[in-house]
Amino acid sequence: MSYKGFERLLMVLVCTLVMVFACQNVFAQEAAAEATEEEAFDAGPFIIEHVIDSYGWHICGDGDKSVTIPLPIILIDDGHFVVFMSNKLHHGEAAYNGYAMGWGDNKGTIVKLDGNFADYTGHLEEGETYENHVCKWDISITKNVCALFISLILITCIFLSVAKRYKEHPNEVPSGLQALVEPVIVFLQDEVITPSLGCKSNKYAPYLLTLFFFIFLNNMLGIIPIFPGGANLTGNIAVTGILALITFFVTTFSSGKEYWVDIFNTPGVPWWLKFPLPIMPLVETIGIFTKPFVLMVRLFANITAGHIITLAFVSLIFIFGQMNPAIGLAVSPVSIFFYIFMGLMELLVAFIQAFVFTLLSAMYIGMAIGEEGIHEEEAAMVEAK
């Protein structure tokens, strides 16, 4: 991309960010004004609410006036599929056919009311106690699942169209999406996949490329504060956990003899660390599991922390506005400045974290295959040539 093009893109990005933040500032001030009338603003729950998953996709507004996209709730209860839209629950204030939003320890899950309220539909009174149990098999299309689907469609469309372009215009100068995506693919291949995996690159490149673009796109979508974006998908431990788990399985199943020898009979370590007390094998065995665990936590923590900080800067306006609207107004430019700064930082983090996750996955897989595995094949390839 030319310098001018990049500058234009940056301008658009900054303008969008400023507009979005300005909008949020207006909402924030409205909310702050409401808060002084109704209840005190608590930043903690406000932030957590924005970071975690939810059953509806909140667009704007508060309480009854809020605009929320209802999403389907799908439960498997006693072998039956139960499907209804999330707006039936009125943000947890009502029950539908005995199903309600959990509270207390069960907050964030769907519960089934027991006893008299087993098929109850209607408002739930505050202060009353309802016997309930958590629905275990909950495969609702939550905000994050919805965001997942959107991102899947987006990635599929992007890469199928790019692949089509390669197919229809082979050996031509890349253009459009292809030109945007190709440098990244080439970068990953040259800097991440090939150095770690050698000649086994072709086997694992599809997984690693999918991984990178999935994480990167979802990180980027997570930064956009309004609908299709705004869901904290890669800042969700279930998502990062699954990605780490897949890497774990890929690593384990592609492991060679060398990998297990390194673990159970670590070379270059004094014998008394292995016998009679198998300290090193123990450490190495734990290491098998800590690697994916760290992958999971790193991505989750980085993305979530970014969102929490940006939300905290917004909350500052609420908090100061609560003291005095004038102070809130005075603080807002500072808050917005830091918000923008963090937004830009998150852009960087979005790439870095996707890159790091992919790089480490590639390195773990490369380590599991072992130097020998990679070099043997290389030697064979050289011979074949």
Partner 1 sequence: MELIKPSFGLIFWMLIGFGILFFILAKFAWPIITNGIAARNKKIADQLEEAAKIHEEMESLNKKHEEMMVQAKAERDALLAEARKVSEEMYDKAKQKAAAESQAMIEDAKKAIYFEKMKAITDAKNAIANFSIDIAQKLIAEELTDREKQEKLVEKWMEDCHFN
**Residues near partner 1, by CB under 8 A:** 48, 51-53, 74, 107-109, 136-142, 144-145, 148-149, 152, 155-156, 159-160, 162-163, 166-167, 170-172, 181-182, 185-186, 189, 202, 205-207, 209-210, 214, 236-239, 241-243, 246, 304
Task: With CA atoms as reference, report the closest residue to 233 among 250, 216, 212.
Answer: 216
Interatomic CA distance for residues 385 and 379, integer angstroms: 10
CB nearer partner 1, residue 32 or residue 311: 311
Q: How far is the CB of 52 from partner 1 (least distance, A)?
A: 5
**Min dist. Cβ of residue 97 to partner 1 (A):** 19
CB 299 to partner 1: min, Å: 13
Amino acid identity of 289?
F
Quote the CA–CA distance of 290 and 294 in Å, as a whole number.
6
CB of 134 to partner 1, least distance (A): 10
Give the three-state DSSP class for 36: helix
- For residues 140 and 196, which CB has a smaller minimum distance to partner 1 in the complex? 140
Q: Alpha-carbon Rg of the chain, whole angstroms?
A: 25
The answer to whether the CB of 176 falls within 8 A of the CB of 87 is no
Contact status, residue 356 vs residue 301, Cβ threshold 8 Å: no
Minimum CB separation of residue 165 from partner 1 in Å reads 8
**Secondary structure of residue 99 in the 3-state scheme:** strand
Q: How far is residue 208's CA from residue 368's CA, in Å, rounded to a whole number?
A: 15
DSSP string, 277-309: S-HHHHHHHHHHHHHHHHHHHHHHHHHHHHHHH
Residue 87: CB minimum distance to partner 1, A: 18
Residue found by looking up tokens 């100068």 in the block: 173
216 token code pair: 């990167």
